[in-house]
Structure 1
Amino acid sequence: MTAPDPFSLPPAPTVTRRSSNTLLIIGGITVGMLLIVIGASALAFNLLFQRASAIPELLPAETQLYAAITPNLSDLPNINRLQQAFPETFDYQNTDETADFLQERFGVTFADDIAPWIGPEAAVAVYGLPIDQLGRAISESTNPFNPPATLDPLEDVDLSNANVLLIVATRDQRAAQAFLDKQRTFREGQGERFTNSTTGGVTIYASESDETPFAAFALARNMVVFANNAASIMKLIEQRSESTLARNAQFQAVLQSLPNDRIGTIYIAGEALARFVESLFESGSLDESNPTIADIRSAAQAMRGVGFTMAVIESGLRFDAVTVFDQTRLS
């Protein structure tokens, strides 16, 4: 393009020039509006998919299993075709199974008691599992020469230190608190009794008898939290930022290796997987004298983590999986 001469006089205005200017103005407004729409769409997309980092900020670095999903599937792009093809899966909020579970377990409905407050992310997290015991129990249950003494091979596994949390982001804390109060009142009507304690200004309710993942609950750090014990909710409230799952180098390495357009993510800590494989060797289920099997042991020890994601695309669903290794520890 030739630069205009700054010393030349501007051309005389003509009808054609005014028409061109009008077209340019209209075109500029149109482009501007398109940019605003695109920008807003990008912002909404980022809010929808990138806010998944909020929950790992509340979990301890030693979290062994983390599974997150975007609960409001109806807000996702490209979801209509999947809802038509798999109505019970992608319209889970309105299925009879969901309604029956919520009513029988909590005395609530999704539309009236959960939809008003549920936010853009939900996750399940597990830590404190006795991996060595689990590995030995599974090894014994699958050994044809040493059948298990009971029908439940995990009966002797000590899960007293295991922590299971269900965490859901909120967009209306008053509605979220009303939901927690309503389900507590219903459960009390079914014979449950609750004690309460306060940590950091947050009231935690804990069932005196229920040992399910819903035994304890609270509205903490803008999240509705259910857990199998009150201690894990206390830890979430007091969790220091420098020792969270989000700061865990293994967790970061796995998530950075996965696509960003995910609606669901599963992370399994490499340390937990390595301990599980090691327990299989110690129990004799895997023969270390076999060079190929020995390589499995080496690979497990070098594993930083495993990740899985699901994304909704125009033609359906896309699944991705990745295993991240510390290459310096490979044989």
Structure 2
Amino acid sequence: MSASPPVTRPAAREHGLGYALLGGLAVTLIAILIGGGLFTWLLLATRGPSAPQLLPADTQLYATTTPNLGGVIELEQLRRALSEGLGVPDPAALAAPVERLLGVSYREHVVTWLGSEVAVAVRGVDPAALAGPDPGAALLRNGEVLFLFGSKNDPQAQAFLVQHRAAREAAGERIRTQEQGAVTIYTAEGSPPSPIAAFALIDHYVIFSNSAAAVAAFAAAEPGASGDLASLPAFVAFEQQLTPARGGAIYTDGSPAGEAARAALGALLRGLAEEAQAQASARSRSW
């Protein structure tokens, strides 16, 4: 019986460095796609409801920047929105009065939590009540204004609110607290109308308002319920304009009240800037 001929195996192919490089690139690409998808999912899953989902449908004005995945406010876009949308000629002049209102350093106590979304909502405005010589002050007396700042770090945002309260109480203000579910609403007692009369951290937003009732309503709102701003067809069309290239936009309900609210909000912000500039000028003359 003759022996079987030896089996000849095919020679192993030498893939070389090129194949190894392609394989490494493929693995890297898959990792990037999975990691990027996971990051986006985590961001959306922890983001919570949007501000328009918590605002009533009768909101007359909503001005906002465009949120981005980077989570960093684009200052140049914010300046352009203030200048072009609200008629603030020198938005940079707002930095000093805003920091004075906050009572803490922006660089040390705000940038640690501030995300890419900044918005203002106004409702309850009667145009006739804003027709006087100071529409900004009239807006604080007669309307509801909410300033909303997206938080990317809620523990740091809550720490900021505690520091803000302490600074105001050290200056002689009385701040009371009201618990509404898991939300703590802070309200200044006996103070004149102010854009920071009430404040809270709600659903990843730091909120300042002239109205404690407006803050409480925001905290009590149910996302997805009928009757919110986000469900209005006109607002849905507005949100489609919020592309990264645009940076920000202003929605009004199309009524005279909405346009009056825009003008009054611009007057309020210009007044803050002009007051700061006057104070700086007075200090320079005193030296």
Secondary structure of the 2:112 match is: coil
Aligned to 1:129: 125
Question: In the alignment, is residue 269 of structure 1 matched against residue 261 of structure 2?
Answer: no
Structure 1 ranges of 4+ moved more than 4 A: 12-15, 38-48, 70-77, 153-161, 273-277
Q: What percentage of residue pairs aligned between the two structures are identical?
A: 32
3-state DSSP of counterpart to 2:146: strand
In structure 1, the partner of 2:210 is 228
**2:110–2:157 CA contact under 8 A, matched in 1:** yes
1:192 aligns with 2:173: yes
Partner of 2:111 in structure 1?
Answer: 115
C-alpha distance in structure 2 between counterparts of 1:169 and 1:109, whole Å: 18
Quote the Cα distance in structure 1 between the aligned partners of 2:137 and 2:104: 35
Q: How many residues align?
A: 234
What corresponds to 1:19 in structure 2?
15
Whether 1:31 and 2:26 are equivalent positions in the alignment is yes
SS in 2 for 1:174: helix
1:63 aligns with 2:44: no
Question: 2: distance between equivalents of 1:263 and 1:155?
Answer: 27
CA distance in 1, matches of 2:123, 2:174: 26
Cα deviation for residue 252 of structure 1 reads 0.6
Kept in 1, the 8 Å contact 2:148–2:208? The answer is yes
Q: Deviations over 1:267-299 (max 9, x none)?
A: 32334358769xxxxxxxxxxxxxxxxxxxxxx
> Residue 125 and residue 24 in structure 1: after superposition, are their counterparts in 2 closer, same or farther (change >3 A)?
same
Contact 1:53 1:246 in 2 (8 A): no
Task: Give the secondary structure class of the aligned counterpart of 2:104.
Answer: coil
Q: Is the 8 A contact 2:126 2:257 kept in 1?
A: no
Match of 1:171 in 2: 152
Please provide the CA RMSD for this pair: 4.1
Distance 1:247 1:97, change over 3 A: closer
Distance, in Å, in 1 between the alignment partners of 2:54 and 2:208 is 14
8 Å Cα contact 1:199-1:234 kept in structure 2: yes
Deviation at 1:235, TM superposition (A): 0.4
Q: Are 2:207 and 1:211 equivalent residues in the alignment?
A: no
| Cα contact 1:65–1:126 (8 A) shared by 2 | yes
- Shift in alpha-carbon separation, 1:123–1:44, aligned structure 2, 3 A: farther
Letter in 1 for 2:209: A
CA distance in 2, matches of 1:184, 1:156: 23
Query: After alignment, is 191-200 or 261-270 more displaced?
Result: 261-270
| CA–CA distance in structure 2, aligned partners of residues 35 and 274 of structure 1 | 52
Which segments of 5 or more consecutive residues in structure 1 lack a partner in the other structure? 1-11, 90-94, 138-149, 278-331
Per-residue CA deviations over 1:65-123 (Å, capped at 9, x if unaligned) read: 1122268998669x89x79xx9xx9xxxxx8963x435532331123211222233221
Aligned-pair CA distance for 1:127: 1.3
Equivalent-residue separation in structure 1 for 2:137 and 2:20 (angstroms):
76
Q: Deviations over 1:276-325 (max 9, x none)?
A: 69xxxxxxxxxxxxxxxxxxxxxxxxxxxxxxxxxxxxxxxxxxxxxxxx
TM-score (norm 1): 0.57
What is the rounded CA distance, in whole Å, between the counterparts of 1:113 and 1:168 in structure 2? Answer: 14
Residue 62 of structure 2 aligns to a residue whose secondary structure is: strand
CA 1:178–1:210 in 2, change beyond 3 Å: closer, same or farther? farther
1:65–1:269 Cα contact (<8 Å) kept? yes
Give the deviation of 1:164 after TM superposition. 0.7
- Secondary structure of 1:18 counterpart: coil
Unaligned runs of 5+ in 2: 1-8, 84-91, 261-287
In structure 2, distance between residues paired with 1:33 and 1:235: 48
> What one-letter code is carried by the residue in structure 1 that aligns with 2:118?
A
TM-score, normalised relative to structure 2: 0.64
Q: d(CA) in 2 for partners of 1:211 and 1:26?
A: 66
How much has 1:234 moved relative to structure 2?
A: 0.5
The one-character-per-residue Cα deviations of 1:121-173 (angstroms, maximum 9, x if unpaired) are 22111111114655xx3xxxxxxxxxxxx7x1749968644111111222333
Q: Letter of the aligned partner of 2:123 in structure 1? A: Y
CA–CA separation in structure 1 for the residues paired with 2:176 and 2:98: 22
